[in-house]
Amino acid sequence: MCYDISFKTSMKTIRDYLPDVQTDPQLQIDFDRAHVMAQSFSPCPVIIFEDGSYKLKLFEWGVIADYMNTPDKVRQSRPWMCNAQSEKILGDKKSYWHRIRKQRCLVPVTGFYEHREIKGWKNKVPYFIKLKEREIFCIPGLYHYSPLPDPETGEMTGTFTLLTRPANSIMRQIHNGGSNSFRMPLLLTKDFEQKWLSPVLTDSEINEILNFEMPSEELVYQTVFTIRSSKPRPDGKEKYDLYMWPGLPSFENRDL
């Protein structure tokens, strides 16, 4: 699944990437986030099409669905709403994701993290992955406004989920363990990213985007020291920087 992303960029980079996006000047965005974890439910910048224009907003990671109408229900169910399997958006009409398929968003990132299991190793090896020759890119998602108003402001909190799909050949070898192994975030061409936000997108066009598989050769990946641990790196570098693990075996088959 995709529970760990990196967002370390600038407003200028986002505007260069998506020139038509509008930003509230009062919006306080932290652009210096080497690691964001899904179940922290922290605010992240997302791009939506609303009231006839593309807008950059701060939404919390992890959808709060309409049926989560009490704080207890939110605590119980929200941890499982940070990712949505792309196959269920159109393939399962009873799925909550099918119901909100018209509420589409893009989440700007500079990369994401995943763990690799290695036979005979006690711990998984963490990786940082990004797209080749793209300083930032956007992971498509779905959004929903929480049914519970913010206790301080009375506003309905915007929440989002990231879309995942079956992994391509290289991601099958990185994300190769656990209950949700062999999956990856849905990665798109820039044209498909922008098309995802179109307010007139048909189910047929949605299906075309959901079925896109980013080729393995378009991914850049490297091992890092740790992802979720607060343990400092021995070399003092950023979380996403290369860390060489002694004795790391190469991938057995890049074309798997």
Q: Is residue 93 part of a domain?
A: yes
Strand runs labelled E in 42-136: 43-50, 53-61, 83-85, 104-109, 111-116, 125-131
Query: CA dist 78 to 62, 113, 114, 163, 183, Å?
Result: 6, 21, 21, 16, 20
Q: Is residue 250 part of a domain?
A: no
The pLDDT score that the predictor gives to residue 255 is: 46
Q: Is residue 179 part of a domain?
A: yes
Can you tell me the distance from the alpha carbon of 146 to that of 151, in angstroms, rounded to the nearest whole number? 12
The pLDDT score that the predictor gives to residue 153 is: 81
Q: What tokens does 86 get?
A: 């792309």
The pLDDT score that the predictor gives to residue 253 is: 60
Domain span at residue 201 reads 4-223
Q: Is residue 70 part of a domain?
A: yes
The pLDDT score that the predictor gives to residue 1 is: 73
Task: Using alpha carbons, select from 52, 29, 64, 22 the residue that is nearest to residue 158.
Answer: 64
Q: Is residue 244 part of a domain?
A: no
* Averages of pLDDT over each 10 residues, the chain, 256 residues: 92 92 87 94 95 94 96 96 97 95 97 96 96 97 93 88 97 93 97 96 97 97 93 90 94 59
Total count of domains within the chain: 1
Q: Is the dihedral of CA 64, 65, 66, 70 positive or negative?
A: negative
The pLDDT score that the predictor gives to residue 219 is: 97
Can you tell me the distance from the alpha carbon of 92 to that of 112, in angstroms, rounded to the nearest whole number? 27
Query: CA dist 182 to 109, 174, 176, 221, Å?
Result: 21, 8, 6, 16
pTM to 2 decimal places = 0.95
Q: Please state the length of the chain.
A: 256
Query: CA dist 221 to 114, 141, 152, 153, Å?
Result: 10, 22, 42, 42
Q: Is residue 252 part of a domain?
A: no
- In terms of DSSP H, where are the helices of the chain? 11-17, 71-77, 86-91, 96-99, 169-174, 190-196, 203-210
Q: Is residue 51 part of a domain?
A: yes
Q: Is residue 178 part of a domain?
A: yes
Q: Specify the CATH number for the domain of residue 57.
A: 3.90.1680.10
